[in-house]
């Protein structure tokens, strides 16, 4: 297992994305913003689907995604998490701070950031 894969798996577990196997009760739903162009995105999308989380694919402007979809979901869900590029993570965490959410970030490599936003 490479160092970046190991860091990704540790960060994913620490961010609250858990698998609901073995008949356990599902945790409240979290929304995940994922940039499909990042190499780690496939693993995160599979894990999010297994846990019943909502997925918002980032394919354009992060600010537009926040105002059109995420700002409403952030208030009604367990929180928002993401795997995006650094610039997109910065935009979304700054917008979330404006409504009182706290951000945690972990750099996975020089381009990818795994982050969560919680109240």
- pTM, rounded to two decimals: 0.75
- For the chain, give every domain's residue range: 3-18+28-118
pLDDT of res. 116: 94
Alpha helix ranges (H) inside 52-85: 62-65, 71-76
Alpha helix ranges (H) inside 52-115: 62-65, 71-76, 86-97
Kindly give the confidence (pLDDT) of every residue in the chain, 119 residues in length, as a single tens digit, with 9 standing for 90 and above.
Answer: 555 666 666 666 655 554 444 445 555 578 999 999 999 999 999 999 998 899 999 988 999 999 999 988 887 767 899 999 999 999 999 999 999 999 999 999 999 999 999 98
Which run of H or E residues covers position 43?
helix 41-51
pLDDT of res. 82: 95
pLDDT of res. 74: 80
pLDDT of res. 21: 45
pLDDT of res. 9: 64
At residue 82, what are phi and psi to the nearest 5 degrees? -165, 160
pLDDT of res. 78: 78
- Nearest-angstrom CA–CA distance, 89 and 103: 10
């Amino acid at each position: 297992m490479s160092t970046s894969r190991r860091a990704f798996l540790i960060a994913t577990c620490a961010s609250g994305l858990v698998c609901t196997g073995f008949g356990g009760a599902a945790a409240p739903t979290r929304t995940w913003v994922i940039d499909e162009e990042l190499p780690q995105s496939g693993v995160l999308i599979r894990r999010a689907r297994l846990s019943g989380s909502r997925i918002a694919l980032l394919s354009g402007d992060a600010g537009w995604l926040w105002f059109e979809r995420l700002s409403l979901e952030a208030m009604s869900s367990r929180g928002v998490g993401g795997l995006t590029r650094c610039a997109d993570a910065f935009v979304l965490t700054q917008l979330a701070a404006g409504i009182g959410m706290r951000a945690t970030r972990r750099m996975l490599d020089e381009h990818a950031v795994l982050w969560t936003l919680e109240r």
